[in-house]
A = this chain, B = another copy of it.
Amino acid sequence: MELDKLKRHRTQAISDMLSRPAPHASSPAPHASIITVGDEILIGQIVDSNATYIAGQLNAIGIRVVEMRSVGDDRQAIIGALDEAARRAKIIVVTGGLGPTSDDLTKEALADYTHTDSWRIDESSLAIIRDITTQRGLPMNKQNRNQALVPDHCQTLLNRTGTAPGLWFDYQERIIIALPGVPFEMEALMEEVVRKLQTSFQLPPVLHRTVTTFGMPESVLAAKLADWERTLPPSIRLAYLPNPLTGVRLRLSVYRPDKVAEALVAEAIAGLRAILGTVIYGEGDDTPAAVVGRLLRERNASVAVAESCTGGRIASLLTSVAGSSDYFKGGVVAYDNAVKTDVLQVCADDLLAYGAVSLPVAEQMAEGVRRLLNADYAVATSGVAGPGGGSEQKPVGTVCIAVATPQGATAQRRQFTGDRARTIDRSSATALNMLRLAMIT
């Protein structure tokens, strides 16, 4: 409801994190600029997720990204971007345009920009290229060999998963890094980049701890945490990171942490836990599906799902976790009412009396699938995902969610807002969270 307040709150937290000087900072965090090269981005064909990944990695080690930009496969555009980036940043990371063809111009642009026309073959990279082309059953041609050709004065970053090495230039008090645009190659090379940046700069160490919450909207959370936030020492920065599937993550960061700061963070998290209790479901990269899996594993228990409006999404989330076959028995997607009665044994009279989107039907679906698949726990959903199918009593976004345990079944009726995809996501995540609560309370 209070969107403005909410937005202010979040933006303020992030802005604080970025702009407040780190306490006891002897030198400010170095600034970085990220440049992605590729026409695909400029025509709106793909989202530039590489820049987001790199920004996250740099921020995590205390480097402040001041600008990101995308330019086309055009030598002058790349040089122009480098030139402008160098005015604001000590560190420039370029991705894309390192391939073997005439459209890949990043290497040439970097040679131009750093005023060299002296090139060398990097033998270690050439060996890897030879291996990869052999594996792919391709001939080793001139184009492949040229991938190992690099400007003489740069260092190479060995790319073990592709044919384009990364490049590292030390030029006019700037570090310029060029990485391939294939996401998994870039991500693998970023590990080395992070290590090298940490040794090249006196980076303020950063301590991040993330607490994951579910079931409380960001605005309510912010109001509930207002007093606690005021007690946070200024060295701890807080960010609210909301996501429909994983809830609101609360990230606490300390730049240049010491023993005292670490203790303060631990204390702050203890404070959070005292206020939020079971609203907190995990730490770090935990998701509701992963945490439910962990709880089931600890209890040596199994789960099954019965889905109407979520149409397989809950099963899909549970099985996106590797190893979920240890505790996930399976599920029934009961879209048609006949599936609810015939397969899940929902009482036909109740279906008629209360309608498919009702607490009794959701409960019977959960109990039915728990029995059918011989599972310890079960969740079920029945709702109106939209855009059609709504009524005055049950508008679009109405979803009944049930949990069945060895002790019986309970159900809740919820009202979600947003489009079909968002309602499906939110009700699936809510079902997993209800299962978590049923297991721990």
Give A residues with C-beta under 8 Å from B.
1-4, 7-8, 10-12, 14-15, 17-18, 39-49, 51-59, 64-73, 77, 80-81, 84, 88, 99-104, 136-138, 143-144, 163, 239, 241, 302, 305, 307, 311-316, 318-320, 322-325, 328-336, 338-339, 343, 372-374, 385-389, 420-421, 424
CA distance A315 to B136 in the complex (A): 35
CA distance A315 to B313 in the complex (A): 8
Chain B residues, CB < 8 A from A137: 1
11 contacts across the A-B interface (CB closer than 8 A): A4-B143, A43-B65, A44-B54, A44-B57, A67-B81, A312-B316, A320-B420, A322-B420, A324-B335, A330-B343, A338-B373
CA distance A80 to B39 in the complex (A): 24
CA distance A424 to B42 in the complex (A): 30
Q: Are A312 and B322 in contact (CB under 8 A)?
A: no
CA distance A267 to B41 in the complex (A): 30
CA distance A336 to B388 in the complex (A): 35
Q: Are B319 and A335 in contact (CB under 8 A)?
A: yes
SS class, residues of chain A in contact with chain B: mixed
| CB-based closest 5 A-B pairs | A311-B319, A44-B56, A312-B315, A44-B55, A312-B312
Q: Are A7 and B373 in contact (CB under 8 A)?
A: no
Q: Are B59 and A52 in contact (CB under 8 A)?
A: no
CA distance A4 to B140 in the complex (A): 12
Chain B residues, CB < 8 A from A334: 330
Q: Which residue of B lies closest to A55 (CB)?
A: B44
CA distance A57 to B42 in the complex (A): 11
CA distance A41 to B387 in the complex (A): 31
Chain B residues, CB < 8 A from A53: 44
CA distance A43 to B42 in the complex (A): 22
Q: Are A316 and B318 in contact (CB under 8 A)?
A: no
Q: Which residue of B lies closest to A80 (CB)?
A: B88
Chain B residues, CB < 8 A from A372: 343
Known contacts A314-B312, A334-B330: A18-B66 contact under CB 8 Å:
no
- Least CB distance, A252 to chain B, in whole angstroms: 14
CA distance A271 to B331 in the complex (A): 45
Q: Are A325 and B332 in contact (CB under 8 A)?
A: no
Q: Are A42 and B68 in contact (CB under 8 A)?
A: yes
Chain B residues, CB < 8 A from A46: 52
Q: Which residue of B lies closest to A373 (CB)?
A: B339
Partner of A101, one of B8, B18, B67: B8
Known contacts A322-B388, A420-B320: A4-B40 contact under CB 8 Å:
no
Chain B residues, CB < 8 A from A3: 136
Q: Which residue of B lies closest to A81 (CB)?
A: B67
